[in-house]
Structure 1
Amino acid sequence: PAFASPSVLSTVSVAVADATAKLGAGTNESYTLSIPADATAASVTAATPYGALHALTTLSQLVDRDAVAGSGLRIAGLPVVIDDAPRYEHRGLLMDSARHYLNISTIMRTIDGLAQNKLNVLHWHITDAESFPLEVPGFPALAGSGAYTPLLVYNADDVAAVVAHAAARGVRVIPELDTPGHSYAWGLGYDNLTASCPTYRYVSNINNIPLDPTAEWTWTVLQAIVQQLAQQFPDDVVHAGGDEVVTECWELDPDIAAWMRNKGWTDYTQLLGYHVTRLGGMIAAQGKTVVQWIEVFDAGVKGLAKDTVFQVWKGKDELYSVVEAGYRAILSDSDAWYLNCGMNPGCAYSSWQTCYSNEPTPPGTVTPAQEKLVIGGEAALWSEFTNDGNVDQQLWPRLSAVAERLWSPRDVANVTAAEPRLAYHSCRMQARGGLDSGPIAPGFCDVRVF
């Protein structure tokens, strides 16, 4: 582009050390961006293509309209040399497409936003108690009866399109198979997949209806789904759920109770452990690492693979307990990074300042070795009160604040200094990416600038 000064940035050279590097856990995303004082050329060096993508994103953010000259473009503060790398390897967003079906266009637009904010993980919470919208060819009734309607499903082409769109932008897609709880919709397609507990006092709360891990038929279906996810999602991680399992429904199912007696088991957390470890073995057999929600850790399940990762939503004390036990952890603190809160009853809205200030490991909380086990964090957008019409308003610009917290060093934490930067970026996302990112303070977006 031509600049207000006589100089013209005519060349951007990009040098990547490993052009074949795989996008996945631990991928090197560092880069160096250099622009000389005359701004005639820019150079990017990076270890992988994904670091180079981040460098080009940074370059695009350095370019803006020349408000002084009134026309043209400029890069201020030349010369520029930026050596940059993320603090955490896992920087993501959980999107829930089960409570409300989300159109592929909405998911792809959100991926565009992730890339603009150097976030690198879309955690796709595809199924839940309310619906099972993923097409499983070998078991057509799962989506045929478990989705809200047969029209609101994700087929293989949809999944491939999302994965390809994300990969081109340096974003991993991690699928979640939320089991054994939150599984009511599975039983709409095949009623013998879920526990039968008609006398359960809270049977109307479908979130409390679990799969039946004692039936081999359940494992036939799970095996098919695990194999499908391994083929459709190239990432080396699969999220196996494990949250909010209410055991009372298991206790009231006479067949499950008889199975427990035959095993000599009296504690239904043993059944949870049986499910978690057997499913984890299936996932590991596909060459994938397992992520579990924190409830599995809290239940004291034995026999978990040591490379299991726990996602912590209950608070930082739980995070510290996980890493003290030698496991890796992802923080999704519901008090700060559940972006649906304020729309959902029962949890309070988090301001962008709260999102920004949510430091995963304040000084003195963990040892240096334990801190290395905190691999990152995710904001979450649960969709009980979220659909295509309000996704952007709930995500942006608060997710930008989360993104900076996960990318930047701990000492980059001044809210006052961050405010103009995030306000400007919110306007930039509106103008460049078509994202409906709201304001964070009084002011306006001058569309001529972006």
Structure 2
Amino acid sequence: MLKTVRYSLLTTGLLLSGYTLASPAGDLPLMPWPAQVERPAQGALAIDNRLTIRVTGDDLGPAVGRWRERIARQTGWVLMPQAAGVTSPTIDIAIARSVAAIPRPDSDESYRLTVSASGVKLTANTRFGALRGMETLLQLIQNGPENTAIPYVSITDAPRFPWRGLLLDSARHFMPLEDIKRQLDGMAAAKLNVFHWHLTDDQGWRFASNRYPKLQQLASDGQFYTQAQMKEVVRYAAERGIRVVPEIDMPGHASAIAVAYPELMSAPGPYEMERHWGVLKPVLDPTKEATYAFADAIVGELAAIFPDAYLHIGGDEVDDTQWKNNPAIQRFMQQNALADSHALQAYFNRRLERILEKYHRQMVGWDEIYHPDLPKSILIQSWQGQDALGEVAKNGYKGILSTGFYLDQPQYAAYHYRNDIVPQGLNGVDTLSDADSAQSWSFSMPRLKGSPVEGSFTLVKGEDGWRGFIDFKGKSRRAVQNIEWLSDDQMTFSVDTWMGETRPLLTVSNDSISGYFLIGNTRYPASGKRLEAVPAGTPPVVPDAEQQKNLLGGEAALWAENIVAPVLDIRLWPRAFAVAERLWSAQDVQDTDNMYQRLQAVDGWSTVSVGLQQHTQQLQQFARLASGSSTLALQILAQAVEPAHYYTRQHLKFQAGNYHQFEPLNRFADALPAESMTVHSLNRWAERLVSDAEDTESADALRHVFTRWQSNTPDALALAGANYQLAAIKPVVAQVDKLAALGLRLTDLVARQGTLDDKEYASIQAQLDEAAKTQDEVVIAAVYPLETLLRATRIE
């Protein structure tokens, strides 16, 4: 139960509340959560502006100066100058052995941190452990009611996985160097250690080549990184313990290469710069020796700039149309016994792998490069999911996971947080006994672009209640959770899919079902029929304990079709901390309520200490949209609204003919984080009020938000009428106003345990269904806590 509730509107429009932190992770504002945390005594070490730092065992260069600057920002102090040769430092950092400053795939990142009355002691085997430990310490520095202090604590820590990456796409929309460096600062703060730099794609070549200069001259629109700039990124990243793995995509995603060097392609040119997004046809010709001379030269240049042992060759989404339509290529395949396009791509990759070996580099590529003809030294990055990754691991290849960590898709942080690297089994959920009663249903869920999502699900009533599983077409069987019959003819459950958190709400009528699948916050209509028998399914691919050692970790991915530099931080932070914790922390650190509390703390800390700009960028976008007026109305409106989840925004742009490089990313939706923490709080308060009608604090918290939304309506409508870029959200403003009034009524009704008759219940549900529709690429996510309140008023 809440003891106190405090309200404050931050610059992001988040409504915060105080409530007790949960286990297992604990109540320290740390993220990722360390491997072992002990609180040997109550109390804290008070510090002031005389603070000093000493490092022994290795030379960390400018790191000490950076840490002092960050402490000054966190505290507001002007630190007193630190004399040389400090003998009794406040923070004593001891490194066991000196190692090369360039991080490696096997760098030791372990550390031990102790805070006691005698000061701070940080010990690490290498400089990289010291860097990770200092980020933990910086998160612990708190300004309290009496002083600035660090709680007494003993931490022993090391990462669960060695590969903890972030992909930034500089090809589709160019990212300036200062923005890249800021993300590296954020990565270091989150203990991410691999910067995967996507430098080329169909829409742009961003790598300045000395050997093939027409690439940047003709295929970059003048936006590319010089070799000196790329070396500067490597240096900057290394100082923060981060490896840089460049990606040059081959043989597909090659439209930019085609513009500069059409003679390397599988179909004759000329080619023009590609402006549209999608899987496109230009592909390198694997039968030409000139192609491999090109690859050799580019790899050589990359190796001279990027010292990491790995080099990413892409290899994904190869459209083989040009290969099939080229008679010379078809003859080459016949002469070399290459059965199909996958075999031809494997041939290309074998040649490419030998080039990489020449330059002492190991190949990384997406799922499509996986082939038994390639050596076990390659690394597979999976966008196709845990089953594909499981096959990789079972067959002795190394793999990392990106499915479920696509941060360019708006998704809830909890979805990313639940996404474990290790494939999970069914634990007998689909094993039926004579005492079980099962019902199976087919379903079809049309999408805005592409084929419908189809499959079946089975719900099983057993002695211990309901359980179930779902079979998506072409994918393995998954267990479903939270099965609930909302009425005799309406069911819901939840399951995490490649699309996001998925919650069908379906109504049964005779032998048919209809309703929708809620993908994140966005509804997709669905329908289906009862099946006569439980369908056969494909079991998930689960590697054994020894094979799981082949799973090196994962990478968050930030593809840039819908992202430009002015909103980069909004898309990435703070959600990337949730991904970072899944990659660093123990597998059993899973409490999402606890995660959200710490995520809120690290969100604020990262803007002050690290300099991330998720809040600054939002205010800048709101200021642009407000056209000189106060942004407060947009901040308050943003509490109720989220960008449409999954690929809804991309697919809407595709339908409208706007899925291209010059589509303005200037909507209200572009200024919104993926998740409204106000709505997150509303969900919690609504659930608490439903479970305890006497919870007056939750009721008051709900009323406070709804009242504020109502009061905001005139100002929000005025702004929407003053800027054409906001005109499309006028209906959203009007609906939020209606929902606020409805929220006040439902809160009072639940608080006094009132009920609604069927007619009025249906009328309110219809209002919520209308408000839940996607409008100008946003969804009024506040609909969902209101549905929780509404369901509590149903007459049983």
For residues 185 and 49 of structure 2, what CA distance do their matches in structure 1 show? 33
Distance 1:11 1:261, change over 3 A: same
Residue aligning to 1:57:
135
What is the deviation of 1:222?
Answer: 0.8
Question: Is the 1:33–1:81 contact (alpha carbons within 8 Å) kept by the matching residues of 2?
Answer: yes
Residue aligning to 2:213:
140
Question: Is the 1:182–1:209 contact (alpha carbons within 8 Å) kept by the matching residues of 2?
Answer: yes
Which of 398, 408, 424 is matched with 1:328 structurally? 398
Which of 293, 311, 317 is matched with 2:387 structurally? 317
Give unpaired runs (5+ residues) of structure 1: 342-348, 444-450
For residues 422 and 333 of structure 2, what CA distance do their matches in structure 1 show? 41
What is the deviation of 1:236?
Answer: 0.7
Asked if 1:128 is matched to 2:171, the reply is no
With the length of structure 1 as denominator, give the TM-score of the two structures. Answer: 0.88
Which of 405, 409, 412 is matched with 2:582 structurally? 405
What is the deviation of 1:441?
Answer: 2.2
Residue aligning to 2:256:
185
Residue aligning to 1:254:
327
Distance 1:251 1:6, change over 3 A: closer
What is the deviation of 1:5?
Answer: 9.5
Asked if 1:352 is matched to 2:529, the reply is no
For residues 257 and 172 of structure 2, what CA distance do their matches in structure 1 show? 14
- SS at the partner of 1:124? strand
- CA shift digits 1:367-387 (9 cap, x unpaired): 111111110000100111111
Asked if 1:209 is matched to 2:282, the reply is yes
For residues 241 and 8 of structure 1, what CA distance do their matches in structure 2 show? 47
Asked if 1:282 is matched to 2:355, the reply is yes
- SS at the partner of 1:432? helix
Question: Is the 1:427–1:437 contact (alpha carbons within 8 Å) kept by the matching residues of 2?
Answer: no
RMSD between superposed Cα atoms in Å: 2.3
Residue aligning to 1:346:
none
- CA shift digits 1:40-77 (9 cap, x unpaired): 421111111000001111111110111x22xx31112x
Residue aligning to 1:115:
188
With the length of structure 2 as denominator, give the TM-score of the two structures. Answer: 0.51
Question: Is the 2:190–2:580 contact (alpha carbons within 8 Å) kept by the matching residues of 1?
Answer: yes
Name the aligned partner's letter for residue 74 of structure 1.
Answer: A
Distance 1:273 1:4, change over 3 A: closer
- SS at the partner of 2:555? strand
- SS at the partner of 2:203? coil
- CA shift digits 1:177-226 (9 cap, x unpaired): 2111100110111111111178xxxx996633111111111111110110
- CA shift digits 1:138-160 (9 cap, x unpaired): 1110111111x12x111111101
Distance 1:6 1:293, change over 3 A: closer
Name the aligned partner's letter for residue 242 of structure 2.
Answer: V
Identity of aligned residues (%): 36
Name the aligned partner's letter for residue 103 of structure 2.
Answer: L
Residue aligning to 1:101:
174
- CA shift digits 1:268-314 (9 cap, x unpaired): 222111111110111122111111211122xxx34211111100111
What is the deviation of 1:266?
Answer: 4.5
Question: Is the 1:239–1:291 contact (alpha carbons within 8 Å) kept by the matching residues of 2?
Answer: yes
Question: Is the 1:97–1:126 contact (alpha carbons within 8 Å) kept by the matching residues of 2?
Answer: yes
For residues 408 and 362 of structure 1, what CA distance do their matches in structure 2 show? 17
What is the deviation of 1:253?
Answer: 2.1
Residue aligning to 1:344:
none
For residues 561 and 586 of structure 2, what CA distance do their matches in structure 1 show? 34
Question: Is the 1:115–1:169 contact (alpha carbons within 8 Å) kept by the matching residues of 2?
Answer: yes
Question: Is the 1:322–1:329 contact (alpha carbons within 8 Å) kept by the matching residues of 2?
Answer: yes
Residue aligning to 2:244:
173
- SS at the partner of 2:546? helix
Asked if 1:374 is matched to 2:551, the reply is yes
Deviates more, 1:245-254 or 1:361-370: 361-370
Residue aligning to 2:375:
305
Asked if 1:17 is matched to 2:96, the reply is yes
Which of 82, 87, 99 is matched with 2:160 structurally? 87
Which of 160, 163, 167 is matched with 2:231 structurally? 160
Question: Is the 1:184–1:206 contact (alpha carbons within 8 Å) kept by the matching residues of 2?
Answer: no
What is the deviation of 1:8?
Answer: 7.0
Asked if 1:74 is matched to 2:149, the reply is yes
For residues 341 and 47 of structure 2, what CA distance do their matches in structure 1 show? 70
Name the aligned partner's letter for residue 3 of structure 1.
Answer: A
What is the deviation of 1:434?
Answer: 2.2
Residue aligning to 1:45:
123
What is the deviation of 1:362?
Answer: 5.5
Question: Is the 1:376–1:406 contact (alpha carbons within 8 Å) kept by the matching residues of 2?
Answer: yes
Asked if 1:390 is matched to 2:567, the reply is yes
For residues 343 and 590 of structure 2, what CA distance do their matches in structure 1 show? 43
Residue aligning to 1:236:
309
